[in-house]
């Protein structure tokens, strides 16, 4: 690392708490699917800020909406109504199962709201929430407790009470874990951080049946799979299973920090004034950006194109798995959240593969210590997908097995 990138990295490391392992690049510009660092090197961004910049970087319509709102009104708190917040909530309810929305600042905060709603809705003696092994629900203390990966909890014990984790895909074990204190089952329809691992549709239907049988709420965490990522606005639409509560974030603001919890009116009624809140959630500037983002995603043909490009990427990844069977065993995912599942030999080199792609100017990551994860902007072209697949093939070809 040298030059401008190194200079900015040192200044940053000298003053920012080191909770991140960063790559040696200081990004200074983004346009579409391309990022540019402080020394002018360009990168094909197939991570999109971890599924956030789904319309690409600095989409002109979103940027204009942000600037226009910033010139008019930036913040008033939630003591007053604002037009962008109302318009965003209307768009979300008109295009989902929900008729009530709570706007937050992030996915973790949206999940915190979902956890609190499930508990207060069930009554004070029913507070247990069952989530799944391998899940990821956020970095706050409650959402870390809900997360089914012990590595995120280590060093922060004791965890808040009431969270348990069922084995992935085993419905009988999960039902045996339900007690009189259980109020909800929480899951991601597709585990992103867990290695791009979809839940089987029959299993999800089983979860829904268990919720009905035991009077539990079904919470879908669509923070990564929502907002068009899977080829429908929300993944639940393709699965035919409607949750009671759903959380979204990441791509909702196409780069601006926002999260949302969606539910039905009768469930939302448990949250009376004063029971929950946020200072910045639904901020006018952020909400205006989200409105512009959502309107573009709802344009005719947009989501169909995501599904077609997702199929194209899936086929390309399957072809690579066939060419390199010692490193990869297959590909999985939905829409434009795809994973190349690595073999044991491949897992040993997962980090090195990501680094080699970074050096070639292609950004991806390694998820769940299982799969290479691809989350390109939904506007990515087939030419750019070919660029990704070519670079990945070159890197896999250079791996020692």
Binding site for pyridoxal 5'-phosphate, residues?
107-108, 136, 221-224, 279
Residues 6+ apart with CB under 8 A from 174: 130, 166, 167, 185, 207, 210
**CA distance from start to end of the chain:** 28
Whether 317 contacts 95, CB under 8 Å: no
CA 372 to chain CA centroid, Å, is 16
Residues 6+ apart with CB under 8 A from 376: 33, 45, 46, 47, 48, 313, 336, 384, 385, 388
- 115 forms beta bridges with none
CA 137 to chain CA centroid, Å, is 9
Radius of gyration of the chain (CA): 21
**How far lies 2's CA from each of 6, 26, 334, 344, in Å?**
5, 11, 39, 34
Which residues are documented as binding site?
107-108, 136, 139, 221-224, 278-279
DSSP string computed for 160-171: PSSEEEEPTT-H
Which residues are documented as binding site for N(2)-acetyl-L-ornithine?
139, 278
């Amino acid at each position: 690392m040298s030059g401008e990138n190194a200079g900015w990295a040192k200044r940053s490391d000298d003053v920012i708490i080191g909770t991140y392992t960063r790559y040696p690049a200081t990004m200074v510009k983004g346009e579409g699917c391309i990022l540019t660092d402080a020394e002018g090197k360009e990168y094909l961004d197939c991570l999109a800020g971890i599924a956030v910049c789904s319309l690409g970087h600095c989409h002109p319509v979103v940027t204009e909406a942000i600037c226009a709102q910033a010139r008019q009104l930036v913040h008033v708190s939630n003591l007053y109504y604002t037009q962008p917040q109302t318009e965003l909530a209307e768009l979300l309810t008109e295009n989902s199962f929900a008729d009530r929305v709570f706007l937050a600042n992030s996915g973790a905060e949206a999940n915190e709201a979902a956890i609190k709603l499930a508990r207060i809705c069930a009554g004070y003696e029913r507070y247990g929430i069952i989530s799944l092994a391998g899940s990821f629900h956020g970095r706050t203390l409650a959402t870390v407790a809900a997360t089914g990966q012990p590595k995120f909890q280590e060093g922060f014990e004791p965890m808040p009470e009431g969270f348990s984790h069922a084995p992935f895909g085993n419905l009988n074990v999960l039902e045996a874990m339900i007690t009189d204190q259980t109020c909800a089952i929480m899951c991601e329809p597709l585990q992103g951080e867990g290695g791009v691992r979809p839940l089987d549709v029959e299993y999800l239907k089983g979860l829904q049946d268990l919720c009905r049988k035991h009077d539990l709420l079904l919470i879908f965490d669509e923070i990564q799979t929502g907002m068009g990522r899977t080829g429908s606005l929300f993944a639940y639409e393709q699965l035919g299973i409607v949750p009671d509560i759903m959380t979204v974030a990441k791509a909702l603001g196409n780069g601006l920090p926002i999260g949302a919890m969606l539910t039905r009116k009768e469930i939302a009624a448990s949250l009376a004034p004063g029971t929950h809140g946020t200072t910045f959630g639904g901020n006018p500037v952020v909400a205006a950006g989200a409105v512009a983002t959502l309107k573009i995603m709802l344009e005719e043909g947009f989501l169909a194109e995501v599904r077609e490009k997702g199929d194209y990427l899936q086929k390309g990844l399957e072809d690579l798995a066939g060419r390199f069977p010692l490193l990869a065993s297959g590909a999985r995912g939905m829409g434009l959240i795809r994973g190349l599942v690595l073999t044991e030999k491949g897992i040993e080199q997962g980090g090195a593969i990501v680094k080699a792609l970074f050096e070639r100017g292609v950004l991806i990551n390694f998820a769940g210590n299982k799969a290479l994860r691809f989350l390109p902007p939904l506007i990515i072209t087939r030419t750019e997908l070919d660029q990704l697949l070519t670079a990945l093939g070159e890197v896999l070809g250079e791996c020692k097995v």
